[in-house]
Structure 1
Amino acid sequence: MMIEAIIFGFVGSFHCIGMCGPIALSLPVRKDTLTSRVVSILIYNLGRVITYAVIGLLFGLLGFGFKIAGFQQSLSIGLGLLILLMTILPYFSKKQFHNNNYLLKPLSFIKSSIAKLFGTSSLASLFSIGLLNGLLPCGFVYLGVIWTASLGSAIDGMIFMAFFGLGTIPAMLGIGILSNFIDFKLRNRIKKAIPVFMLLIGCLLIIRGLNLGIPYLSPHLETKSETLTSTECH
């Protein structure tokens, strides 16, 4: 699970360069030495990882509720279908969903809070920027959250999203240190491949929910009676 999460985060990090790249390039990092620059960037990314871990804990807990209710299979299949619809529908509809006033208000608050923190060059402000940046909309974070909910465990959800965040650090560290050498053509190529990756994740979640008993791909999911029995034994 941890290896899967790191790979997932690493692949998604190239998309993050486009989404979070401007923030990473503008961070009020300490530039006096390479060491201080690296430490500053790592502190910022630590904030992001912690936010992802908390999000994973919450959605893992939600998935656990579905597991206790005996709906883990249905949840996995439903989430897989949701990802497929999210990937396919935009090609058939010109309606834009991102201009939602209910989402814009909290998003504006987060962005304004980040902007204020940019005025202070300290490790505490960098850490806070990272915490807030983890709340900004990101397609790959959404995919990670959906996968987390299908795990049916708060702890597993927290671990998955934490390692997802760790998987994004190499690219984010690279853009912070080697900002003049980042090839944005690579980011654009990755962006074109994102729909294919989303379709793959959607199909994997559906196969996982089919409970085929295939290790790693479609492992046996506990039924409601099995979960309750296991809980009573503990």
Structure 2
Amino acid sequence: MLTSALVLGILGSLHCLGMCGPIAFMLPLDRTNNFKKTAQLFIYHTGRLMAYGTIGLIFGFLGKGLSLFGIQQKLSIGIGVLMIILVLVPGNFLNGHRIFRPIYSLLGKAKSKLGAELQKKTPDAFLTIGFLNGFLPCGLVYMALLGATALATPLQGGLYMVLFGLGTVPLMSAVVYSKGLFRNSIRAKMQKLVPVFVVIIGVLFIVRGLGLGIPYVSPKPAPSHSVTAAIECHQP
């Protein structure tokens, strides 16, 4: 299942070009020194991976809490179904709902801070930009977080999100050096693969939760051991 995070990141990096690409283009990189430029870009990606790992730990912890109620398999099935449903739901379905207004307010503050950091060129500024970038709203990140939750451990949840982030690094780095890397027509065709792969991941989580006894894919649940105490009465 961890491999799916890396593949989702690689395929989803095309989606990231539309969401985070403008931020990558606006990075105050040193255009006169390739070594320094690469180092600054590395720090930026490190910040993004730190953000993804942090929220992955949180959602993995959430998944662990739910699994303590003995619903880990049901959780995996439910998240798989939710992934598939979210692919079919229009992107603006949740926009405007009051329950999400506090989140939008926090995101607005993050964007303001991000704008201020884009004016600086210090190493900590690139780390902050990457970290804040990781918290910006992105449907693909939400999908990855569902996968991190289904793994039901903080460590695996964090690792899942870091692998997802690593999958986005190559293309997000390439566009900084070559803005015309992909034509719009090619990008549009490849972006169509993202929802297809999300559905495949959703199916994998459903199969995983069914416990069909398939090694590494759908292992059988561990048998529950019950302890019984037998009391023997002996006649004197």
Scaled by the length of structure 1, the TM-score of the pair is 0.87
Match of 2:170? 170
> What amino acid sits opposite 2:96 in the alignment?
N
Paired residue secondary structure (1:30)? coil
Structure-2 separation of matches of 1:173 and 1:8: 17
1:81 aligns with 2:78: no
Deviation at 1:81, TM superposition (A): 1.4
Match of 1:232? none
Deviation at 1:119, TM superposition (A): 1.1
Deviations 1:18-56 (A, max 9, x none): 110000011011222111111111110100001101111
Deviations 1:115-145 (A, max 9, x none): 0101111111111000000001112211111
Write out aligned runs for 1:24-173 (5 A).
Answer: 24-90=24-90, 96-100=93-97, 101-173=101-173
Deviation at 1:84, TM superposition (A): 1.8
Percent identity, aligned pairs only, is 37
Q: Which runs of 5+ in 2 are unaligned?
A: 228-236
CA 1:58–1:115 in structure 2 vs 1: closer, same or farther (change >3 Å)? same
CA 1:35–1:182 in structure 2 vs 1: closer, same or farther (change >3 Å)? farther
> What amino acid sits opposite 1:146 in the alignment?
L
Structure-1 separation of matches of 2:175 and 2:67: 40
Deviation at 1:222, TM superposition (A): 3.9
Paired residue secondary structure (2:215)? coil
Structure-1 separation of matches of 2:4 and 2:30: 33
Q: Which has the larger radius of gyration?
A: 2
Structure-2 separation of matches of 1:184 and 1:143: 24
Paired residue secondary structure (1:179)? coil
CA 1:200–1:121 in structure 2 vs 1: closer, same or farther (change >3 Å)? same
Match of 2:231? none
Deviation at 1:95, TM superposition (A): 6.3
> What amino acid sits opposite 2:75 in the alignment?
L
Q: Which runs of 5+ in 1 are unaligned?
A: 230-234
Deviation at 1:2, TM superposition (A): 4.7
CA 1:182–1:36 in structure 2 vs 1: closer, same or farther (change >3 Å)? farther
